[in-house]
Amino acid sequence: MLAPYANYQMLRELGSAVWLSRYQVWGMVRYAEVYAALHDHDTFSSGSGVGLSDELNKVMAGGTIGSDPPDHDRLRQVIGRQLTPKALRVHQEHVQRKAAVLVDELIERGSFDAVPEFAQRFPVSMVPDLLGWPENETGNLLAWASAGFNALGPMNERTMAGFPVLKELWEFLDELATTRNLRPDSWGANLIAAVDSGEVEAKKLPVLLGDFLVPSLDTTVSALASMVWLFGNNPDQWRKVREDPSLVAAAFNETVRLETPARGFCRLVTRDHELSDGVTMAAGSRLFLLYAGANRDDRVFTDPDTFDVTRHNVTSHLAFGHGIHGCVGQGLARMEAHALFRELAARVEHIEVGEATWRRHNTIRGLAALPTTLHT
């Protein structure tokens, strides 16, 4: 699949916002404008949903990603307390041990497909455990996550193919909220406690459980697979990380800048808004914020198409959004990636990758297959 970055460059050159007639939305691809919009939730609202499809927006609005203050702040507080740096440190040793076990196994095997055996396997083994997943449950997590993100795109064949999968997910979340069959002292049990205390309404429990499950999987899978692919194609950058393992954190940031997992999300324009170059977006129109395009804006990033783990301003990327809707689960994604690539850097001299196969997906930029060999 062709990368979309030439199209993003064309859109940046056309103006601060460009009307995308096929989807009947404004597209915003320049970094400064996207950043400003992310910090103006009064003008650019999330409360009516953040997807391209009105039908799905009506169904999916109401969670942390599809709400505005004050509802957003209350929901974010309930979810966010499990994901603060202090709260995540409790799990650090457990995550590192699991990373070591997986890397040991993959080194012994030598060659494998990095998508299912590395990028998917690790978060799928982590997130249900942290949520307090029922022991006898074998839910189709990856399919649920993929369908959830596909639904944020236009009403095309991929969105419609995901309807039965989303129905299955919503039924499962409703059942889980009703039975409360979640391990004590887990993240899910803490959400139940918030409901019982009156902090959030009981009807929000399925949505909050979904907010833990869906966003924490597909985006992390995308980032982990892209990181392997980029290091395989840029051995000089892998040498830098091996020589200085403290660069793992910067390498993760550079990966999600260059191959942003979630391309972008929509907002509703609540009032007429004029941009610096005279483009005016009318109240009631919708705006698509293209994070993946903003992250390659050469007004901000020098040589934006180059993978550089020593990039001086790499933390400026918008891969996790910014402002009040900045991804609440990014700390978990970072912890998983850092643990895995610290283990790899300590023991793997060279990462060899074969021909990559890219997914077709409405929202997620990610790999479907990546033949990989680890050389020690």
pLDDT in tens, 267-285: 999 999 999 999 999 999 9
Ramachandran angles phi, psi of 278, nearest 5°: 95, -5
Amino acid making up residue 299 = R
Give the pLDDT of the chain (376 residues) as one tens digit per residue. 567 999 999 999 999 999 999 999 999 999 999 999 999 999 999 999 999 988 788 877 778 888 999 999 998 998 888 888 899 999 999 999 999 999 999 999 999 999 999 999 999 888 888 888 877 666 788 898 899 899 899 999 999 998 999 899 989 899 889 999 888 888 989 999 999 999 989 988 988 888 888 777 899 999 999 999 999 999 999 999 999 999 999 999 999 999 999 999 999 999 999 999 999 999 999 999 999 999 999 999 999 999 999 999 999 999 999 999 999 889 999 999 999 999 999 999 999 999 999 999 999 999 999 999 999 9
| Rounded Cα–Cα distance for residues 308 and 293 (Å) | 18
pLDDT at 141: 85
d(CA 244, CA 231): 15
At residue 98's C-alpha, the angle toward residues 224 and 209, to 5°, is 70
**Which pLDDT score is estimated for 211?**
84
Pairing mode, if any, of strands 286-290 and 25-28?
parallel
Residue 157 has a pLDDT of: 92
Q: Which sign does the torsion angle of CA 342, 345, 346, 347 carry?
A: positive
pLDDT digits (tens, 9 = 90+) for 60-89: 777 888 899 999 999 899 888 888 889 999
Task: Give the model confidence (pLDDT) of 344-372 as tens digits.
Answer: 999 999 999 999 999 999 999 999 999 99
Which long-range CB contacts under 8 A does 300-307 form with residues at least 24 apart? 300/31, 300/32, 301/257, 305/5, 305/258, 307/230, 307/233, 307/234, 307/237, 307/254, 307/255, 307/258
Give bridge partners of residue 371 from the DSSP assignment.
Answer: 113
Token couple for 179 = 């039975």
pLDDT for res 308: 98
Report the run of H or E that residue 51 belongs to, with start and end: none
Residues 133, 123: Cα–Cα separation, whole Å: 14
* Residues present in the chain in total: 376
Distance between CA 214 and CA 146 in Å, rounded? 8
Please state the pTM of the whole predicted model: 0.95
pLDDT computed for residue 127 by the predictor: 84
- Domains present along the chain, CATH in parentheses: 5-375 (1.10.630.10)
- The pLDDT, as a whole number, for residue 61 is 73
pLDDT for position 136: 67
- The total of other beta-carbon atoms located within 10 Å of residue 97's CB is 11
Residue among 261, 275, 269 nearest 327 (CA): 261
CA angle 314–317–320, rounded 5-degree value:
130
Q: For position 138, what pLDDT does the model report?
A: 62
